């Protein structure tokens, strides 16, 4: 059976408490994404730095900063940030796109 190619887009803002667990969960999967775009939507904590360190070690992880709107906007802000990430997909060959929050942890 052919492996499906997945792109993940994660809109994040101030996720320093959880983002390391999310990254570790994805790293531990048997099928890794071909591209994982983590979009920092104006974090004031160390979220960007945490992700940047992982992106330096894994070429399929990218962190990009979206211009800060100045406030958290639950709902529409997440959708806007997802589409910002979607416009920045560089991979041309994929089967699925997944939107994943920055505070998700998978258990086995």
pLDDT at 72: 67
State the pLDDT confidence band at 67, using cuts at 50, 70 and 90: confident
6-99 carries CATH number 3.90.550.10: yes
- Percentage, residues of the chain above pLDDT 70: 94
Who contacts 91 (Cβ-Cβ below 8 Å, separation ≥6)? 5, 7, 34, 35
Percent of the chain with pLDDT over 90: 81
State pLDDT tens for residues 73-104.
667 788 999 999 999 999 999 999 999 999 99
Q: Tokens standing for 19?
A: 């983002």
Listed by start position, the domains of the chain span: 6-99
């Amino acid at each position: 059976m052919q492996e499906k190619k997945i792109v993940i887009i994660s809109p994040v803002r101030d996720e320093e408490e959880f983002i390391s667990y999310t990254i570790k969960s994805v790293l531990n999967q048997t099928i890794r994404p071909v591209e994982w775009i983590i979009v920092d939507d104006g974090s004031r904590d160390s979220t960007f730095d945490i992700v940047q360190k992982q992106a330096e070690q894994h070429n399929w992880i990218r962190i990009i900063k979206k211009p800060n709107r100045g406030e958290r906007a639950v709902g529409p802000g997440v959708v806007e940030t997802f589409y910002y990430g979607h416009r920045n997909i560089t991979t041309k060959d994929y089967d699925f796109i997944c939107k994943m929050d920055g505070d998700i942890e998978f258990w086995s």
